[in-house]
Structure 1
Amino acid sequence: MGAGSHHWSVVDRSGQAWFVKVDDLGAVDAGRDDAFHGLERAFGVALALRRDAGLDFVLAPIPAATGALVRRLTSRYALSVFPMVEGAAGHFGAHRPEDRAELAGLLAALHEATPLVADVAPRSDLALPGRDGLEEALRDLDREWTGGPYAEPARALLTAHAGQVRRSLAEFDSRVEQVRDPGTAWVVTHGEPHPGNILRTPAGPRLVDWDTVLVAPPERDLWMLTPALARMLGEDETGDGGDVLARYTRLTGRAVTAAGLALYPLWWRLADIAAFVDDLRRPHGPGGDAAAALTYLTGYLESGRD
């Protein structure tokens, strides 16, 4: 389920079950070492949040006997082991209104733990991942794309919406400058606290998938408590999220900025567009992930603003 990793339930010789995750470090050699070390660092932050900050809702990996949290299987793949937890997994989408206040409390506790991990957690550079490749694709619309059966449909789609994408990139740059305010305190953030990363257990909710952890503006997490995620996914909006954000402010004393809330839905949309375009320009065959990438790219571009 999801993208970028594979998962197994593994039972050891004593009969204990574990959740085993294997992450894909990238289709090409360049960057794989950085991806592996980034994974090590992110999982180290997750473990510190659970062990040192006492955040039970952080589902962190189990260290090996050596203390390592990730093992390199091959050049491309890395393995990590997690406890097998009884519970109900969520699905990617907007949060239910009745769940948002609880999640605001979890995020408040996470953000308040920043001093314990500030020295080890990676810091956001506010850059858009895959931007260079997306801009290259925008410059290459006049030539045939030959990566596979979905390459030319992707080129035609991007050509039709190139103006929209370029305007979104310019808007992104403007939002980044607003968020760089040196007077705003950044916090440790999960990055993707949507329902698909919430495991409902008898002991309470657990937040999974910590490979995206960064010190960043708090709105990197908080925008998912607003109707912005529903709008992006074409789902029905419920409420304006103001009461939930007010609860977060009461718990932390930290104001939520409009600039940050505007930046991160745009970041998410553009990062996905860049990733799908990159996938469809690379060699690929029919069906599978490539077909899904074209479907998702179509959804983003055709629901965007022209």
Structure 2
Amino acid sequence: MDSLSAPYASLDPDRVLDAVTACGLWPDGRLLALNSYENRVWQVGIEDAAPVIAKFYRPHRWSDAAILEEHAFAQELAEADIPVVAPLVFGGRTLLHHDGFRYALTPRRGGRAPSLESTEQLEWLGRLIARIHSVGARQPFEHRGRIDCATLIEQPMRAVLASSLLPPSLHAAYRAAAERVDRAVADRFAAVGPVRQLRLHGDCHPGNVLWTDAGPHFVDLDDARMGPAVQDLWMLANDDKAMNALLEGYQHMREFDFGELALVPALRAMRQLHYAGWIATRWHDPAFPAAFPFVAEPRWWEQHIADLHELADELL
């Protein structure tokens, strides 16, 4: 297998330990593979020190410049006393190279998922997200792209239509449903009008927020992009009550444009369509068939098509 069809085939435990050792650390042999499909992430025990997290970037996904922008943003947030896990620096560098892989090390910061039923926790998260956005608004990303239809609808749709996962008998139905979502999303963005674009966490779902007795901290800025502020809020809000609590906290720290709330159904539709395209794009990676076997079944695509129509209906 080549590096494109199986990009992590040669990333065995010895290479992980060697990469950490190359930074001047002394692994104690304890390795724990963490749940990650886009990249590969390991917790590595260190002799007489706290463990570190070693993240190996998927080849060809981000340029070095884009990864360095992610790192710089995380460091900028940390310097502003915002609880974000930023990469460690070795020899003045955060993006490291070893044996053909690009990787970064971060401190291990544990925690549990936040309670999305707790008004207190949601308001706390709202305040912190507002602080992230205040830093994010200082300057734009140059290399990391935007939350837009080209990235989250058009590219994934092409990937699905080119994939053997989609049964030929469903090609026309899928295309019609995806194009309907595309039009509905474009119409919603046009109706809302221009909104301020800023640097975002980008993938602010409950799995990327860890709660401890000291409060929450944010991890994994791998999907950081330019986009509207509401992108970092809607995945933490199960209902209107939760969104109100998030915004109550947010507005203590930063003004919020309430017109952006009308974008939430569009952002939800974009994420769902992108999910199928992401799996189709990555199906050559052996980890994906093992993790998502249901996507190879026609009935999954039939349900996905029905879901797309339901999302388009919501946007009418």
* TM-score bin (small chain): 0.7 to 0.9
- Aligned residue number for residue 230 of structure 1: none
**2:84 and 2:217 in contact (8 A); partners too:** yes
**2:141 and 2:226 in contact (8 A); partners too:** no
Give the alignment partner of residue 89 of structure 2, picking from 57, 63, 67: 63
- Aligned residue number for residue 314 of structure 2: none
* Counterpart AA for 2:270: W
- Aligned residue number for residue 272 of structure 1: 275
- Aligned residue number for residue 27 of structure 2: none
Pairing 1:128–2:151 present: yes
**1:219 and 1:264 in contact (8 A); partners too:** no
- Aligned residue number for residue 261 of structure 1: 264
Check 1:299–1:204 CA distance in 2 against 1; reply closer, same or farther (3 A cut): farther
CA distance in 2, matches of 1:64, 1:170: 47
**1:42 and 1:210 in contact (8 A); partners too:** yes
CA distance in 1, matches of 2:111, 2:287: 36
Give the alignment partner of residue 165 of structure 1, picking from 168, 178, 200: 178
Check 1:130–1:304 CA distance in 2 against 1; reply closer, same or farther (3 A cut): closer
Structure 1 stretches of 4+ with a deviation exceeding 6 A read 283-286
Task: For residue 225 of structure 1, report the CA deviation from its aligned partner.
Answer: 3.6
CA distance in 2, matches of 1:6, 1:211: 12
| 1:45-101 superposed Cα distances (whole Å, 9 cap, x missing partner) | 1111102x221x111111112x221223355x421111122423x39xx93354322
- Aligned residue number for residue 58 of structure 2: 24
Any unmatched runs of 5+ in structure 1? 26-30, 228-236
* Counterpart AA for 1:305: H
**1:59 and 1:207 in contact (8 A); partners too:** yes
- Aligned residue number for residue 219 of structure 1: 230
**1:49 and 1:117 in contact (8 A); partners too:** no
| Structure of greater relative contact order (alpha carbons < 8 Å, 6+ residues apart) | 1
| 1:205-253 superposed Cα distances (whole Å, 9 cap, x missing partner) | 11000122223210111222433xxxxxxxxx57462343344234312
**1:95 and 1:224 in contact (8 A); partners too:** no
1:132-151 → structure 2 map (5 Å cutoff): 132=155, 134-135=157-158, 137-138=160-161, 147=164, 151=165
CA distance in 1, matches of 2:141, 2:159: 36
**1:134 and 1:277 in contact (8 A); partners too:** no
CA distance in 1, matches of 2:254, 2:109: 29
* Counterpart AA for 1:95: L
1:276-287 → structure 2 map (5 Å cutoff): 276-280=279-283, 287=289
* Counterpart AA for 1:189: L
- Aligned residue number for residue 77 of structure 2: 49
Check 1:269–1:2 CA distance in 2 against 1; reply closer, same or farther (3 A cut): same
CA distance in 2, matches of 1:297, 1:78: 35
| 1:172-208 superposed Cα distances (whole Å, 9 cap, x missing partner) | 2223434551xx4333311111110011123221100
**1:5 and 1:23 in contact (8 A); partners too:** yes
CA distance in 1, matches of 2:118, 2:48: 42
**2:132 and 2:200 in contact (8 A); partners too:** yes
Under a length normalisation based on structure 1, what TM-score does the superposition of the two structures give?
A: 0.73
**RMSD over equivalenced CA pairs, Å:** 3.3
- Aligned residue number for residue 82 of structure 1: 106
- Aligned residue number for residue 36 of structure 2: 2
The number of aligned residues is 271
Percent identity of equivalent pairs: 18
- Aligned residue number for residue 28 of structure 1: none
- Aligned residue number for residue 117 of structure 2: 96
Under a length normalisation based on structure 2, what TM-score does the superposition of the two structures give?
A: 0.71
1:146-295 → structure 2 map (5 Å cutoff): 147=164, 151=165, 153=167, 155-178=168-191, 181=194, 184-227=195-238, 239=241, 241-257=243-259, 258-280=261-283, 287-289=289-291, 291=293, 293-294=295-296
Any unmatched runs of 5+ in structure 2? 1-34, 311-316
Check 1:119–1:3 CA distance in 2 against 1; reply closer, same or farther (3 A cut): closer
CA distance in 2, matches of 1:250, 1:121: 31
CA distance in 2, matches of 1:59, 1:261: 27
* Counterpart AA for 2:96: R
* Counterpart AA for 1:61: P
CA distance in 1, matches of 2:290, 2:282: 12
* Counterpart AA for 1:58: V
Check 1:10–1:244 CA distance in 2 against 1; reply closer, same or farther (3 A cut): closer
CA distance in 2, matches of 1:114, 1:133: 27
